[in-house]
Structures are given as structure tokens and as C-alpha cells.
């Protein structure tokens, strides 16, 4: 267990805190790019800072302090112009760096005045990748935005789910270092929730769903260049299976990879403040080789609903089961009261790595996973389950929703991609491109 002081040190991401400074050395997604197609401004709170994301009429995207430096009016109601965002209260305009570039009345009465040059608010760089907008809030020079290999794939369909969770970011990440919870939360309890919902909807009879969680025999954890790898041996598998031999990467400090080279998602757990997390999931569904996936001019997004109509948390979808566990721990789990056991070795390791990397930052160096070499960043391959391990592709033909809220149009496009796997042959050398 941790002391209250240790818990606060690991969970607080406010400016000047050890974790706050560590987190500011990384790029974080803050929105789906398509959100600014619907509305040119969006209020954003990240790492304890209140900001506004906007797209001006020239297409430039900015992320600046949310409140106008003049009279502190909310700039999320501002007016996008050709070269910046104008406050609707008195017309002051800021560019993407936070520099004030126009003050209409001041410039009228003092044409030669230089007051605007003295006015500047916070402004942070923004980059788009994979349909997501990423921001960097740390010191310059900024590192490169990591181009994980999944962002290089073009032979499929992707979409983005966003949800604000009333929990500290560490609760989400510790869950990712806990393989055994799959057996219980998603196995025994989760399958039961699916059964109960099917019965309520008249789609099944009581006690007709088999509950077949696989018992964990062994778990292991390793550190690699970009984070940690979790491994497991469960009932019916050996260390030769990919669950152990390849493992599943957790990208430091706050990204979980789920899936394989065929069907995967990246889950970003972005700290909003010490008691809230923006959970952004980037989904990718890969089409069978030789097929023609739908053309995506813009990657769609949706906002994930957390609750049933009766106000209870949604329990029957896999990611929602994780949400239930995190939310019921409270806004910031009382780690001083926990009793850790053998299943928690990954959590203990992750906390240790967080402390070590925060110390590296305090010493003035780059922490784990920061990328500055453009050649390395052309494509960063990850330890993923490759096609050779997937001798039975029948599972790939089925769409299994993980989060509530996709539109019917999205689901139809996903199912169209997955249908390309119907009748697909097991891996041969002809599928080698899927390993690239």
C-alpha cells in the first residue's frame, strides 16, 4: 500500500508536481480532428489547465489559454478569424501561440501604441495524426509525435470514441497492468452482465450463456523502449502462445494497446486534472488482403455514454466493465487502504517506473519513450500479435462492440470491412504484408 503522500505524488498532474512535469514531456490527444469540422472551437481541460482548441479560417489549429487576457471572458465562445481567435467581448485577437495580434479600440485611439505586443497568454503546439489532434504542453524543444505503426495502416476502417471519466488517470493505467482482472471482471462478472441484458431484451433464456473465463496460471512483465509488456499463460495455453511469447504492450506513460495486426485499438488515458480523465479510444479494423476497404475522407468520432436509461453504469460491454471498476474506486482511489498480492506485480512495477521516470525528468533528461530522431519516428513497430499466430480467422468476421455509442453508419462500415475475412485462408507467405 501507499501512504497518502505517496498516492498524491503519483496521481497529481498539476503544474510543478512530479507527475505533472513527467506528463508534460509527452504528446496527448485532446480531440478528434473532425470535432472542429462541426464547431470551430472546443473548450479543453488537460493536465489541470483550462484551454480552448480552435481552427481559424485559414485552417490553422491553435490551443491557447481559455480566458481572454483583457477581461477574462471565455474564448471558447470566440470568433475564428483568418489568422487567429477573436474575443467576442471587445475584439481582442490571439494567434495560435497565444500572442495578442489585434486590439481594435486600443489601436484606434493609439495607432502607434505597442500594448498588444506586451499581451500574451499560454499557447501550445498541436498536430494531427490518425484523425486525432495531439497537444504538447511541455518545455521546448518539443519531441516528435510518436508514429506508432498502427497509424501507418491504410487498409481498413478507423473511428474514435471519447468519454470523460470522473476518475484519476492512474486508476485507468493500473488496470492495464493487471492481467488477472480479465478472468473475473470480463469473464465471470462480465459474461453474467451480458446474459442478464440478453434475457431482459428477450434474446436469450436465463442460464443459457456459458461462463468460460480462463484461469490464469502465470503472469509476467518486462520493460521495453516504449513502455511495459504484460504477459500471461492462461488455461489451455503455453508460453509458446503469443499471450506470453509476444505479450501486450502498455505504451508509457498512458496508452494501452489492445488487439492484433488485424483488429486493434489504442486507448489514451489523458489526465484532465487530479480527479478526471479524458478516455480516447482509436479503433482500427483491418480489411483482408486484396479487398477494398471503405475510403475515409474524415475519421468519424462519437461520444461514449456511460449510463443506462435508469442511471446505472453500463455493465455489459468490455470497456464499460473497466469503467465500472474505475468509477466505483472513487475519484482518486484510497491506495493507502489497499492490500496488494501476487496478481498486482504489474501495478507495483508500473508505480516504480513512474517514480523513476519522474526523477529522470527532474534531472533534466528525457524520460522513457520520448522520440526525437525523425528516422526512428517514420514508423515505430510494436510487439503485436502477428498474422502467423492467427490460424483461425473466423473470429475476425464478427463485430463485437466494446463501447456504447457508434452510429448505425459506423457499424455498417465496420461490418463491411470485417466481412472481407469471410472465407479467408489461414496465414501463408502471401499474407506477409500484414506483418509489415
The grid cell for 304 is 461514449
Per-residue pLDDT tens digits for 121-145: 999 999 999 999 999 999 999 999 9
Cα gap 76→62, rounded to integer Å: 12
Question: E strand or H helix at 303, and its extent?
Answer: strand 301-303
In angstroms, the CA 233 to CA 241 distance is: 8
pLDDT bin (cut points 50, 70, 90) of residue 289 is confident
Beta strand 227-234 with 248-251 is: antiparallel
Least confident of 24-28, 118-122, 206-210, 403-407: 206-210
Q: Answer for the pair 75, 64: CB distance below 8 angstroms, yes or no.
A: yes
Q: What average pLDDT is seen over the chain?
A: 91
Per-residue pLDDT tens over the stretch 70-92 = 999 999 999 999 999 999 999 99
DSSP state of 186: I
Q: How many residues are given for the chain?
A: 436
- C-alpha grid cell, residue 262: 488485424
Query: Where do you find CATH 2.102.10.10 in the chain?
Result: 27-136
| 211 has a pLDDT exceeding 60 | no
Looking at the whole model, is its pTM more than 0.85? Answer: yes
Residue 83 makes CB contacts below 8 A (sequence gap 6+) with: 56, 58, 60, 93, 95, 101
CA 100 to centroid of chain Cα atoms: 32
User: Can you give the pLDDT at residue 142?
Assistant: 98
**Direct distance between the N- and C-terminal alpha carbons of the chain, in angstroms, rounded to an integer:** 43
In a 13 Å sphere around the CA of 210, the CA atoms on its Cβ side amount to: 3
What average pLDDT score do residues 344-363 get?
98
Give the span between the Cα atoms of 342 and 219, in whole angstroms.
Answer: 9
Do 272 and 164 form a contact (C-beta atoms < 8 A)? yes
d(CA 194, CA 315): 8
b/e sequence 274-304, b meaning 16+ C-beta within 10 Å: bebbbbbbbbbbbbbeeeebeeeeebbbbeb
Which range (19-23, 50-54, 288-292) has the least confidence?
Answer: 288-292
The CA angle 351-357-363, to the nearest 5 degrees, is 140
Has residue 434 got a pLDDT over 90? no
For residue 277, the cross-strand partners are: 165, 271
Domain 27-136 part of CATH 3.40.50.300: no
d(CA 349, CA 227): 11
Looking at residue 205, its pLDDT comes to 64
Helix (H, G, I), strand (E, B), or coil: what is residue 54?
A: strand
For residue 146, the cross-strand partners are none
Task: Assign 204 a pLDDT band (cuts: 50, 70, 90).
Answer: low
Nearest Cα residue to 307 out of 324, 293, 326, 290: 324
Q: What is the pLDDT of residue 389?
A: 46
> How high is the pLDDT of residue 393?
63
- The conformation of residue 389, written as its DSSP 8-state character, comes to G
Check pLDDT > 80 for residue 436: no
Q: Among 186-200, 240-254, 338-352, 379-393, which is the least confidently predicted range?
A: 379-393
The predicted pLDDT at position 408 comes to: 94
Q: What is the pLDDT of residue 292?
A: 83
Q: Are 377 and 27 in contact (CB under 8 A)?
A: no
Closest CA to 125 of 90, 165, 97, 162: 97
Strands (E), 36-136: 41-46, 49-55, 61-65, 79-80, 85-86, 93-94, 100-102, 123-124, 126-129, 132-136
Closest CA to 169 of 250, 253, 227: 253
* Confidence tier at 119 by pLDDT (50, 70, 90): very high
Range 376-386 average pLDDT: 88
pLDDT of 432 > 70? The answer is no
Question: For the residues 287-295, what does the mean pLDDT come to?
Answer: 83
Amino acid at each position: 500500500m501507499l501512504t497518502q503522500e505517496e498516492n498524491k505524488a503519483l496521481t497529481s498532474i498539476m503544474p510543478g508536481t512530479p507527475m505533472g512535469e513527467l506528463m508534460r514531456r509527452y504528446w496527448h490527444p485532446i480531440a478528434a480532428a473532425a470535432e472542429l469540422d462541426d464547431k470551430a472551437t472546443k473548450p479543453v481541460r488537460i493536465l489541470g489547465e483550462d484551454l480552448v482548441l480552435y481552427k481559424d479560417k485559414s485552417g490553422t489549429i491553435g490551443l491557447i489559454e481559455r480566458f481572454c487576457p483583457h477581461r477574462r471572458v471565455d474564448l471558447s465562445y470566440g470568433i475564428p478569424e483568418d489568422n487567429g481567435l477573436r474575443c467576442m467581448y471587445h475584439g481582442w485577437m490571439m494567434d495560435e501561440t497565444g500572442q495578442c495580434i489585434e486590439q481594435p479600440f486600443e489601436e484606434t485611439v493609439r495607432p502607434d501604441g505597442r500594448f498588444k505586443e506586451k499581451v500574451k497568454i499560454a499557447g501550445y503546439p498541436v498536430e494531427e495524426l490518425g484523425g486525432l489532434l495531439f497537444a504538447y504542453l511541455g518545455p521546448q524543444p518539443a519531441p516528435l509525435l510518436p508514429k506508432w505503426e498502427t497509424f501507418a495502416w491504410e487498409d481498413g476502417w478507423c473511428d474514435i470514441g471519447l468519454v470523460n471519466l470522473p476518475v484519476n488517470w492512474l486508476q485507468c493505467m493500473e488496470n492495464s497492468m493487471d492481467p488477472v482482472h480479465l478472468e473475473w471482471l470480463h469473464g465471470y462478472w462480465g459474461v453474467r452482465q451480458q446474459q442478464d441484458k440478453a434475457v431482459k431484451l428477450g434474446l436469450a433464456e436465463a442460464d443459457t450463456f456459458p461462463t468460460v473465463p480462463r484461469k490464469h496460471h502465470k503472469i509476467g512483465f518486462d520493460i521495453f523502449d516504449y513502455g511495459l509488456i504484460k504477459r500471461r499463460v492462461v488455461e489451455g495455453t503455453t508460453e509458446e502462445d503469443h499471450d506470453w511469447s509476444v505479450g501486450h504492450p502498455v505504451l508509457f506513460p498512458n496508452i494501452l494497446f489492445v488487439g492484433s495486426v488485424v483488429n486493434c485499438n489504442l486507448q489514451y488515458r489523458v489526465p484532465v486534472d487530479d480527479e478526471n480523465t479524458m478516455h480516447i479510444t482509436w479503433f482500427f479494423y483491418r480489411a483482408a488482403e486484396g479487398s477494398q476497404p471503405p475510403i475515409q475522407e474524415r475519421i468519424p468520432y462519437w461520444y461514449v455514454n456511460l449510463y443506462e436509461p435508469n442511471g446505472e453504469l453500463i455493465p455489459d460491454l468490455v470497456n464499460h466493465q473497466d469503467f465500472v471498476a474505475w468509477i466505483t474506486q472513487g475519484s482518486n482511489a484510497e491506495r493507502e487502504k489497499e492490500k496488494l498480492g501476487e496478481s498486482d506485480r504489474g501495478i507495483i512495477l508500473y508505480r516504480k517506473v513512474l517514480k523513476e521516470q519522474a526523477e529522470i525528468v527532474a534531472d533534466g533528461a528525457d524520460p522513457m519513450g520520448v522520440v526525437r530522431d525523425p528516422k526512428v519516428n517514420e514508423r515505430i513497430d510494436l510487439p503485436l500479435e502477428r498474422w502467423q499466430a492467427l490460424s483461425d480467422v473466423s473470429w475476425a468476421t464478427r463485430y463485437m462492440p466494446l463501447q456504447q455509442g457508434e452510429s448505425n453508419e459506423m457499424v455498417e462500415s465496420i461490418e463491411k470491412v470485417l466481412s472481407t475475412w469471410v472465407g479467408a485462408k489461414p496465414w501463408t507467405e502471401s499474407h506477409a504484408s500484414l506483418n509489415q
